[in-house]
Structure 1
């Protein structure tokens, strides 16, 4: 069968993992975009930014990290689509064999 790369168990595992990745990264992207104070340790800031009275530089870093999370969630969506296609091809192969 053309295009079949992985088996049904690996395709199902890919669907589950990518679904969790999309949910987790989308939530992180939302929390970073809303400038959640709990996530300050995950923002790549230097010590001099904290002494600045204008928080716009920190907010820009929060937005940048949130944007990166949304990009990673998009990549996981592509991986989920690939896994779904592999699952469909495995079902077709199973149907043709029997």
Structure 2
């Protein structure tokens, strides 16, 4: 079958992992863009960022937003991976239908 790269079990695993990745990263993106205080340890903040900032929370908020956008980008990549896995599952089902 042309375009078939992985088997049905690997395609199902890829769909499950991509679904979890989309949910988790989308939620993290939301929490980072709303500046959740619990996630401050995951923001790449240095002493220099705080010392040189004339408006102290502004630089921290920009870093929060940057990390949030990165989470949304990673979530979109997981969506593409999930679409690929879905196509692989359909190709596997078609192959099983043609064989039987």
**What TM-score comes out, normalization by structure 1 length?**
0.96
Counting matched residue pairs gives: 98
Q: 1:80 aligns with which of 75, 79, 82?
A: 82
Moved more, 49-58 or 80-89: 49-58
Gaps of 5+ in 1: none
User: What is the match of residue 43 of structure 2?
Assistant: 43
**Alignment partners' CA distance in 2, 1:95 and 1:21:** 31
Q: Within 5 Å, give how 1:64-75 maps onto structure 2.
A: 64-75=66-77
**Alignment partners' CA distance in 2, 1:20 and 1:50:** 35
**Secondary structure of the structure 1 residue equivalent to 2:32:** helix
Q: Within 5 Å, give how 1:54-73 maps onto structure 2.
A: 54-73=56-75
Residues 14-55 of structure 1: CA deviation (Å, up to 9, x unaligned): 000000000000000000000000000000000243455520
**Secondary structure of the structure 2 residue equivalent to 1:55:** helix
RMSD: 1.1
**Alignment partners' CA distance in 2, 1:93 and 1:24:** 33
Gaps of 5+ in 2: none
**What TM-score comes out, normalization by structure 2 length?**
0.94
